[in-house]
Amino acid sequence: MTYLLGLDISTTGAKALLIDATGNVIASATTPLSLSTPRPLWSEQNPEDWWEGMQASIRQALTQTGIAAGDIAAIGMTGQMHGLVMLDAGGKVLRPAILWNDGRTSAQCDEIRARLGKERLIQITGNDALTGFTAPKILWVAENEPDVYAQARHILLPKDFIRFKLTGEYACDRAGGAGTLLFDLKTRTWSPEVLAALDIPAEWLPPTYEGPEITGRVSAAAAGSTGLAEGTPVVGGGGDQAAQAVGVGAVRPGIVALTLGTSGVVFAATQAPLVEPEGRLHAFCHAVPGRWHFMGVMLSAAGSLQWYRDTIAPGESFDTLTADAATAPPGSEGLLFLPYLSGERTPHPDPLARGAFVGLTLRHDRSHMTRSVLEGVAFGIKDSFTLIQNAGLGRIEQVRVSGGGAKSPLWRQIMADVLAAELVTINTTEGAAYGAALLAGVGAGLWPDVDAACESSIQITGSTQPGPDSEAYQQIYPHYQALYPALKGEFRAMAGL
């Protein structure tokens, strides 16, 4: 038998996933990781902890199955995007990694816009400068830790540090590289113009590879510490969202991936390097060679329902709440919910945005309020869909939905009605690690391309079509859209109270 290994360094765990050549999951092991917040807005992890956790997870996955390490045809990499790992000339870690959810770099984001101009920045990289990206983190280290910066010789993303420990090679996949704000979206590699403007030496950055390309092979040292076979090829893989999209089969235009977890992510593959002119969508390279993608991020999706349950109906099951919501009519009799409980990213990159119920009357009860939360999240997701369609994607044929919120039949129906698109569930639930394993299979020659890998391994398990309520939601949606502009000034004022 031939097996494939997907490795995923998330913020919370180091995961190793083994699948066979038919796409069946054989073993999965995750070692928990801890997060450090030494100051307000800071979020850091020790890269060596990732490596220790990944070694443990690989050994556990191999032990679960008892398969021979030599039967693993290839390894795929994925993990949290945008983080900064700085190494010296000998490959030694210089400081804790600064993570995607670190918010210390607002001043550096302003500096990047000042040096390049916001419009030019978006045209090159596909994105505006946000605190989550890697580039402002590099500037922060240069300004605040000049002794560390002076020793730096290599810059890696989190998963690429694991790649380095496995193979001894410095390399980066193009989906992950596009999330640094240092990439030229069109040429699919580092931008000389951006690097020059930010005074970042080009030689610090690793060579870039497409998702299925082999970037190196497991070294003797790594084989000894993990139980893997020396010489096993390691492919480029992808950032977590691109690998997740491969893992659900969102690899061609028209098929959109919707992750309805604590946050909500809308991922849409494109055939060309399209850009949303104002930078309200992320535009990155896909892990599929020669393809790109748009991504919209909603900070409180299923997290809004979690907050609502814990606050309004503690102890109630989600099934009870959604059954209650099913008794309320579409539109909740004029009650709208803004899901900005953690601020927002798409389409309003505003940390001061706030949640709100608007339109409450004496007639409204818990069923209306619950349904309005479900509807408000669906409208927020539609904001990203609307931007994606207006930016040139065209018709959306199918939405592949995953995450905890997708378990609710009512929420799936509301989402299908609001989006006016078919929602389907699929047979895979392992997310980014599964996508990384499929990319490894393409690199090993098990499948001719990523499309074939997805078609062979991913099956649709259920479908929800837009129903008769869809027309009503199209009429309500403009009223939802009008609320943020109307309340934006008051949100900002409330933040100062």
Domains and CATH numbers, the chain: 3-236 (3.30.420.40), 249-497 (3.30.420.40)
Question: Can you give the pLDDT at residue 236?
Answer: 98
DSSP lists the bridge partners of residue 7 as 16, 77
Question: Can you give the pLDDT at residue 116?
Answer: 98
Question: Can you give the pLDDT at residue 396?
Answer: 85
Residue 23: which of 460, 462, 455 has the closest Cα? Answer: 455
Question: Can you give the pLDDT at residue 142?
Answer: 98
What are the start-end ranges of the E strands in 299-368?
A: 336-338, 356-358
Query: How crowded is residue 425: how many other Cβ atoms within 10 Å of its Cβ?
Result: 17
Asked if 101 contacts 92 with a C-beta cutoff of 8 angstroms, the reply is no
Question: What is the rounded (10 degree) CA torsion for 449, 451, 457, 458?
Answer: 160
**Can you tell me the distance from the alpha carbon of 25 to that of 27, in angstroms, rounded to the nearest whole number?**
6
Asked if 56 contacts 14 with a C-beta cutoff of 8 angstroms, the reply is yes
**Can you tell me the distance from the alpha carbon of 108 to that of 132, in angstroms, rounded to the nearest whole number?**
11
- Integer angstrom CA distances of residue 258 from 52, 377, 390, 425, 431: 32, 12, 18, 10, 12
**Which residues have a Cβ under 8 Å from the Cβ of 150 and sit 6 or more positions away?**
none
**Can you tell me the distance from the alpha carbon of 263 to that of 485, in angstroms, rounded to the nearest whole number?**
22
**Can you tell me the distance from the alpha carbon of 493 to that of 497, in angstroms, rounded to the nearest whole number?**
7
Report the Cα 309 to chain-centroid distance in Å. 25
DSSP lists the bridge partners of residue 30 as 15
Both tokens of 73, joined, read 């045809």
Question: Can you give the pLDDT at residue 394?
Answer: 74
- Give the residue numbers marked as catalytic: 240
Residues of the chain with pLDDT below 50 are none
The SS3 call for residue 89 is: coil
Residue 324: which of 359, 376, 373, 362 has the closest Cα? Answer: 373
Residue 7: which of 67, 45, 59 has the closest Cα? Answer: 59
Establish how many alpha carbons lie within 13 A of residue 456's alpha carbon, considering only the half-sphere containing its beta carbon: 19
**Can you tell me the distance from the alpha carbon of 461 to that of 356, in angstroms, rounded to the nearest whole number?**
35
Relative to beta strand 85-87, strand 238-239 is unpaired
Both tokens of 367, joined, read 């069923």
**Which residues have a Cβ under 8 Å from the Cβ of 496 and sit 6 or more positions away?**
none
